[in-house]
Amino acid sequence: MHDDVWHEAIVRRDQALSRPKSRLREGIEVVGHDTPAGSRMVETLAFFEFIQKEAAGAVREMARVQGREQIHQCEVANANGALRK
């Protein structure tokens, strides 16, 4: 398994979300944000942006937690003599 599988997944997710967000912006421009269809597109765009922001935050939190876990595992291993020469 690739070391940065989560990073790759997030990059691909961002790329996948960029296409519909771009299309939604175009659609809003065409029909106007004050029309019923435009209002739905604005709402959908806001949802995609929210999901993208929240997912990025979750990945940062996961990396932070994993970093702490890795540090903890090294401390435990060191305490048990596993890292001593």
Q: DSSP of 17-57, one letter per residue?
A: HHHHHHHHHHHHHHH-TTSHHHHHHHHHHHHHHHHHHHHHH
pLDDT tens over the chain, length 85 residues? 455 676 677 778 778 888 899 999 999 999 999 999 999 999 999 999 998 888 878 877 877 777 765 555 555 555 555 544 4
Residues 32 and 37: their CA atoms lie apart, in Å, by 8
pTM of the model: 0.63
